[in-house]
Structures are given as C-alpha cells and as structure tokens.
Amino acid sequence: MIYKPAEDSYLLEGVVKDYLKDKEKSIKILDMGSGSGIQAQACIGLGFKNVLAVDINPEVITHLKTKDFNTLQSDLFSKIEGKFDIIIFNAPYLPEDEREPEDIKLATTAGKEGYEVIVRFLKESKEHLSKDGKILLLFSSLSRPEVILSKADELGYKHELISSSKLDFEKLYVYRFEL
C-alpha cells in the first residue's frame, strides 16, 4: 500500500516549502518514508536537484521510480550512506492496533506505543546529518510527544515546534531538530 497524502502530508508539505524557500539549491535532502512522494516532489518543485526519496516498501519504490525520483529501498538508514543537510520524515506515528491490516501498518504504525520508529529514526539520523543539518519531523499527539522530545533531549538534539494542526481525534506537530 502506498500512503495517500492526507492532512499530515499537507501540513508537512507547507512547512517544507516555507522552510526551503531561501535555501541554497545544491543542498542534499533526504525524504525518509517518502510514501506518495509528496515531500520529494515539493523539494524538486522548488528547484532542488539533490533529493533522495527513501521508503521501506518496495511498492512505494516502484511508484517513485515512475516519477523519475532518485530512490532507495531502506529500513530507515540501513542502506543509506552519506550526510544530508535536510532530512524530512512524515513518520509512521500511530500506536499498534491489532485490527489494522499488515500492509497499512507499515505506513502508519510506529510501534506498540506509537513512538518507537520515531525514536529509532532520531538515533540513526545523528550519523547522517551534516554539520548544520536539520530534520523536519511530523508526528501526532497519539505518538506520546513527551517521550519523543525527552529521547531527543537525551540524544543531544535541540528542537523547536514549527507548526501544528488540530484534527478531530489528534493534534499533528512538525518539529525542527538539530544537533
């Protein structure tokens, strides 16, 4: 299953476009968990050429290749080399739900509590963030934000809330992280 853009995707896309508008076009950008490719497309649409779209799902990689994106199938950073100036991640952020089909869980579930994939991402990102690199990360009030931010503090990240959006049953947050 390819994650279809929804409220979370559009919130992050708006942040990405605003954040990147004055950045040097030669920077290296990683779109982690690319899904439909909406974030990579936003970057390319702004004139950025060095954009890598990564996803764990082979179906997503096939889809992204039809758009001529530079792609790589990887479980987070397992197959990624090098450092990036901007890492964008619309992370899976929901707590595990046994009723959810397995193919959908890959795109939406971040672990039993809803933050495990996000914390793992933050740990692994440290090796792939350039000296002044930034992470734009989206997660939900259902992801236990207090745990994510506490773990980020332990890992040495500075963080700032960039944007948020209230939905019927949750609140979405986009944070900027840097070392």
| 11-64 per-position pLDDT tens digit | 999 999 999 999 999 999 999 999 999 999 999 999 999 999 999 999 999 999
Tokens of 128: 């792939």
pLDDT (0 to 100) of residue 112: 74
Model confidence band, residue 1 (pLDDT cutoffs 50, 70, 90): confident
**151 φψ region: left (φ > 0), alpha (ψ -120 to 50), beta (else):** alpha
Q: What is the 3-state secondary structure (H, E, C) of 123-143?
A: HHHHHHEEEEEEEEEEEEHHH
**Is the confidence at residue 163, as pLDDT, over 70?**
yes
pLDDT of residue 162: 97
Residues 138-156: pLDDT tens digits?
999 989 999 999 999 999 9
Q: What is the pLDDT of residue 47?
A: 97
In this prediction, residue 36 carries a pLDDT of 94
Domains in the chain, start-ordered, CATH in brackets?
A: 7-18+26-178 (3.40.50.150)
User: Tokens 């979405």, residue?
Assistant: 172
Rounded percentage of the chain residues whose pLDDT exceeds 90: 80
- Helix and strand element counts for the chain (H, E): 6, 9
